[in-house]
Structure 1
Amino acid sequence: MNAPALRLALADDQALVRSGIRALLAGFPQLEVILEAGDGDELLAALAGTSVDVVLSDIRMPGLDGFGLVRALRARGDATPVVLLTTFDEDDLPLRAAEAGAQGFLLKDASPEDLYEAITRVAAGDTLLAPVPTDPVRARYAYRDTSAPTDTFSERQVAILRLLAGGYSNKEIARAVHLSEGTVKNYVSEILDKLGTRDRTRAVLKAITLRII
């Protein structure tokens, strides 16, 4: 028996963008868009009466933007996973998304497969705090050492790896994941050990190559 499709809500102030995303998602029978809205306020109202598995929201919208939508959902006790989408590749956006309470962040030029991966992973409880690397990015930054890690990675370690990939410092990561800076430093050391790499840059490149992130 097939699992029921994941129920999605979509917010974007551009109707053409919404229809484009909906068309992409239509290629995956495991996903179903059941709510659409042109801004955060409209979607917030709709979600008060309908439950979904994942919310997809543009970051920049008139009125209540994506960050505000996530904060409003969390303030009323709604823990539905949110993936924030944007066309703007700005350094601070993934960190701001994490601080607002979003589980995922993705650039709109990501492939349909990357979007599907992001949706299904946050629905399963994962946190994607930096954009999912696309295949061209993986090819460009392929790391020569493809030996397997010495151990598996916890959800927390993968989340920290994604923030490392975004170039964030231990202090910034600690603020985003609500841990002490010392604890983050310990996590980073464990990550380097498992990957057999000497520094953060090599760790990120190898993690991308091995599709850990």
Structure 2
Amino acid sequence: MTEPVLRIALADDQALVRAGLKSLLESLGGVAVVVEAADGNALLEALATTPVDVVLSDIRMPGLSGPDALRALRARGDRTPVILLTTFDDSALLLEAVEAGAQGFLLKDAAPEDLVEAIRAVARGESLLQPVATEPVRARYAYREQAAPKTHFTEREVSILRLLAGGYSNKEIARSLFLAEGTVKNYVSDILDKLETRDRTRAVLKAITLRVI
């Protein structure tokens, strides 16, 4: 069965980058860029009248940045999944994206196929983060996360947490560890419960802070 075409909003202050991303995404099929914006304000205005399945936004734009536009979206009740893109491999930007409520964070040099898969993943309700150094995350969150996990983690759970930190989906984790996808889903539920978090992104951040991974 053919997957439905996903409607995408694309925000980037560089016209050439927008044109290039649009061309690459649409050439692979399965997505259609129906909104283009040069900054966060233009993005918010367009999304008020044109619904989309996923927002793809540069993290740094003049005027209203990607994270600020995302906060404004959430404030007005818009829960559309958002992927923030950046040129720089900087863990501080990842933290900014997470704190703003992004479902995805990717470098602009990601392969087009990976970007399309990321779009499909967040449209399905998953989170996707590229791997980053853990020390800056610990330093930023150490003061917030004082409570230890309910119980110790098994070796298998630690392996799955590390893959979650790398942005792997349940299907990809199952393939990597030779497990059934349903088994991975159960492991992830147990991990979230032990870390007392409701989503994968915050589970990874808390696991890093507590030195579980």
Q: Under a length normalisation based on structure 2, what TM-score does the superposition of the two structures give?
A: 0.69
Query: In structure 2, the residue corresponding to 1:92 is in which secondary structure?
Result: helix
| Counterparts of residues 42-191 of structure 1 (less than 5 Å) | 42-128=42-128, 130-131=129-130, 166-167=133-134, 168-169=137-138, 172=141, 181-182=146-147, 185=149, 189-190=153-154
Q: SS state of the match for residue 189, structure 1?
A: coil
Q: Is the 8 A contact 1:25 1:31 kept in 2?
A: yes
Partner of residue 157, structure 2: 194
What TM-score do you get using the length of structure 1 for normalisation?
0.69
Root-mean-square deviation over aligned CA pairs: 3.3
In structure 2, runs of 5+ residues without a counterpart are 177-213
CA contact (8 A) 1:170 1:181 kept: no
Instruction: Identify unmatched segments of 5+ residues in structure 1.
Output: 132-161
Cα distance in 2 for residues equivalent to 1:35 and 1:77: 19
The answer on whether the counterparts of 1:171 and 1:181 sit within 8 Å (CA) in structure 2 is no
**Alpha-carbon distance in structure 2 between the residues aligned to 1:193 and 1:170:** 26
CA distance in structure 2 between the partners assigned to 1:82 and 1:203 by the alignment = 18
How far does residue 172 in structure 1 lie from its aligned partner after superposition? 2.7
Cα distance in 2 between the residues matched to 1:187 and 1:32: 45
Residue 202 to residue 31, structure 1, CA distance change in 2 (3 Å): closer
Percent identity (aligned): 51
Which consecutive aligned stretches of 4+ in structure 1 deviate over 6 angstroms post-superposition? 200-205
Which residue is equivalent to 1:25?
25
- The SS at the match of 2:33 is strand
